[in-house]
Structure 1
């Protein structure tokens, strides 16, 4: 079908020429068609195999650099667990390449290191991070770069870095008494606001979780037929009404394993009109498809579907100057 319209146009042009130039040699239309096909074929071949194939957006869509990372892993074959950072850590995107190329027996976890980090089994690990997902500054202090692998300079990810992840600080936080138990699936152990903020700025809440039983985190849902939950953080006004919120999970639940430690940062934009003061904060977990929240359990009994974390203190420009 792609060639029907051009063919009709070329055939019509030949018929017009025959009417206007009745003495035209019989071989001329065939020769013109051959020249046109050679030209069009050459341009199409160059565009497809050179221009299009080397376009950074196309290479990104075909996950070329993710394949390079997986090939690198096969070469170094680290003994410790592996964490892979990616813009799309969900099961139906880049991680599916890992299943195809390496099988499901690999001990890998997938995150977006800009806001989350996972420690498989609480162990020191190898972490591969491409240029598109630079680790959050908090995480960077636990990561020791070992090797940077250069790819194409014009790619969306021109390189990736092999880091050693040292898990001592995360294990220390995860060793604190649990703040809340969500359905015997995950327990929250540590929560803190990272930096002082004023109205109009972005507050960052750090949450440290321990995975206890991934089977309890939520239902198996399409399209990937895995669990798919989201963590939420809400700031409440004096009436208990949320005025700022962040819903995200940058280390998806689909590949959690019991014993994993998870650090998730929730950046929350504070409206400029918010008055300075102290604001209650709550966190919870819900299934993305149904919206159902995970219950909070105490001694096996449901006591709610969220838990309180430290309140956010909003300062003023005077506080900042001091």
Structure 2
């Protein structure tokens, strides 16, 4: 009985199925536990997606430093049918990662061959960088996923146009390629809604067309108009976002930060840009991103075996590009014969190689400006094509061995499988054991805060009586809305818990409930200067966390509001009630250093009650000179006014260093509130919050005495 041969197409599909199954396993395993918590960036994406589920419809989201919206809309679709948790964002990232692998394989199969496509997809499936980016709820993963689809559709149109040049009905045949160009343009336009590097990656398409026309001038008329139609479609698709950003340049604060090296170079200082270029070029094979949030610090994108193969593949691609430009007709036929023997797409190789190298250059270019730090996200545009070059080297090597000896070819395939399997094992170890458990990573992913939310999620469980509301005050180093509160919103699922936020390093919060819980992590313990105001609190639970954790322990205190208010009433000097508009009431003050010497630190605690939240609040304390101008001051508020719960009371500690040449005498002290939008840039001055008398500040009844004694 004769054996039925398996067709190359079926082999390709079987191998791709195995590759995708491997990719799914590495991306879904323990997805809620690794990463080990949640970054504020991931949480912000989750909050934005939830707002979309609830009806928000924005073309650009200004939360954080500003973000393109496509990832959040995709996450919202998933959240609409699942629980509104951070897992929705991570599953969305996994989905886009699988699209990227599949799309890249589809293009490489057409541009090169099936084996190269499988090798590329397998490398993307098991390598550390693609696995890392696939498991994070960040918008950056959407860029390579959509871009490879645009490349695939563009390539279908380009190659079919080339193949129909000599067709007797060439004009009719060309119409069949137009939908590919238009679809590619539409998806290319969508990439502008994904991540900033899309604004430069699109250049590879017109440049590749110029190269292809240089190879075959008959293509010029055929694909010139189609390419123009493609780019026009992309522009029209991206136009709403581009117009919004032109009208609201302040929405992209991140652009100003990232462009600093270019501005310095424009002024004649190339030091920073030169340093970043050297760093950026080293991320592939030498020294990578040092930021633990997205990488094992310093680990390059490619391990040594893949780095060597990458260089070989890059050399091969560069050689094929040159062959496409500088060969005569006789040598062209010889080259095509060699490529045919290697079972590669002989006509497409130079243009495909050109597109790949150009894609690589444009993809890495943002990192050449910004440097290695955070390069794992900023270079993500080149992620799919980076793994093509090792695949080209492997494909070339295996085919060469097959011509020498079939036995060697089998050994080569066995070695390749061992390389990929070893890479999968190494990636699993480095990601799940090394990276996910590193102390810096657990800090970046706010593991201590997530642990606190897990404790609060269990509050009231197991009781037979109706659950009661728990009001908890959370001390954190980042208490503002887009940071720790965002992480809590995505991890706290107990509807009976209300949260208030403060930074315990310089403030103390008393929630409005009769009894409440105050949570202090290791990073923001109670300031010793505030300890006298916290004497009535009772330590209820102390979680030690891991021995290797940096943010530890995690302490839970029980507070009785009446007892603590009585204590504060005996410690603070009070005057007549002072209201700052309808936002806050000043209740009293306690001067720790009523007498000081020049150069000393003046310390004062002020007592407040939140009446109505308002955006971007800042509390100031100023020491006035003889001309009523401030000679020393402190401006900060560690209980964010955006998140005030009505009735909460808090103490703000201001510690002010006095000038060393401050003359002896007595000095008035004033306090007040103002709103400081966007950190008060020059064009947006602070907005004072007036008192009930119309003044912009309140003068304390006491004065500071400065003496040389």
Same fold (TM over 0.5): yes
Structure 2 length-normalised TM: 0.39
Measured at CA, do residues 104 and 313 of structure 1 come closer, stay the same or move farther in structure 2, by a change above 3 Å?
Answer: farther
Matched with 2:687 is 292
Matched with 2:436 is 53
After superposition, where does 1:249-288 map in structure 2 within 5 Å?
A: 249-288=637-676
After superposition, where does 1:1-322 map in structure 2 within 5 Å?
A: 1-2=382-383, 4-9=385-390, 11-12=392-393, 15=396, 23=404, 25-77=408-460, 81-100=471-490, 101-102=492-493, 106-121=497-512, 123-141=514-532, 142=534, 143-165=537-559, 166-167=563-564, 168-172=566-570, 176-178=574-576, 180-195=578-593, 196-211=595-610, 213-214=611-612, 218=614, 227-289=615-677, 291-298=686-693, 302=694, 304-309=695-700, 310-316=702-708, 318=709
CA distance in 2, matches of 1:22, 1:46: 37
Higher strand share: 1
Measured at CA, do residues 275 and 21 of structure 1 come closer, stay the same or move farther in structure 2, by a change above 3 Å?
Answer: farther
Greater Rg over alpha carbons, structure: 2
CA distance in 2, matches of 1:48, 1:42: 10
CA distance in 2, matches of 1:105, 1:137: 32
CA distance in 2, matches of 1:177, 1:201: 27
Deviation at 1:105, TM superposition (A): 5.2
Deviation at 1:90, TM superposition (A): 1.5
Deviation at 1:131, TM superposition (A): 1.0
Does the aligned pair in 2 maintain the 1:173–1:208 contact within 8 Å?
no
Does the aligned pair in 2 maintain the 1:174–1:261 contact within 8 Å?
no
Does the aligned pair in 1 maintain the 2:573–2:588 contact within 8 Å?
no
Measured at CA, do residues 174 and 102 of structure 1 come closer, stay the same or move farther in structure 2, by a change above 3 Å?
Answer: farther
Measured at CA, do residues 47 and 21 of structure 1 come closer, stay the same or move farther in structure 2, by a change above 3 Å?
Answer: same
* Of 171-180 and 123-132, the range deviating more from structure 2: 171-180
Structure 1 residues 111-145: Cα deviation after superposition (integer angstroms, max 9, x where no partner):
11121122122745321111111112243232332
Does the aligned pair in 1 maintain the 2:470–2:496 contact within 8 Å?
no
Deviation at 1:13, TM superposition (A): 6.3
Structure 1 residues 4-54: Cα deviation after superposition (integer angstroms, max 9, x where no partner):
334424533664687699735222332232222122222222111111111
Larger RCO: Structure 1 or Structure 2 (Cα < 8 Å, ≥ 6 residues apart)? 1
Matched with 2:52 is none
CA distance in 1, matches of 2:547, 2:596: 37
CA distance in 1, matches of 2:437, 2:545: 13
* Of 231-240 and 117-126, the range deviating more from structure 2: 117-126
Does the aligned pair in 2 maintain the 1:178–1:187 contact within 8 Å?
no
Partner of 2:512: helix, strand, or coil?
Answer: helix
Does the aligned pair in 1 maintain the 2:618–2:673 contact within 8 Å?
yes
* Of 93-102 and 13-22, the range deviating more from structure 2: 13-22
Does the aligned pair in 1 maintain the 2:398–2:413 contact within 8 Å?
no
Deviation at 1:242, TM superposition (A): 1.7
Measured at CA, do residues 175 and 232 of structure 1 come closer, stay the same or move farther in structure 2, by a change above 3 Å?
Answer: closer
Structure 1 residues 266-304: Cα deviation after superposition (integer angstroms, max 9, x where no partner):
121223333343222211111120520101113xxx2x1
Structure 1 length-normalised TM: 0.82
Deviation at 1:264, TM superposition (A): 0.8
CA distance in 2, matches of 1:128, 1:274: 40
Deviation at 1:199, TM superposition (A): 2.5
Structure 2 runs not aligned, ≥5 long: 1-381, 461-467, 678-683
CA distance in 2, matches of 1:12, 1:185: 67
Does the aligned pair in 2 maintain the 1:170–1:261 contact within 8 Å?
no
CA distance in 1, matches of 2:699, 2:555: 37
Structure 1 runs not aligned, ≥5 long: 219-226
Partner of 2:430: helix, strand, or coil?
Answer: helix
CA distance in 1, matches of 2:692, 2:514: 27
CA distance in 2, matches of 1:70, 1:15: 53
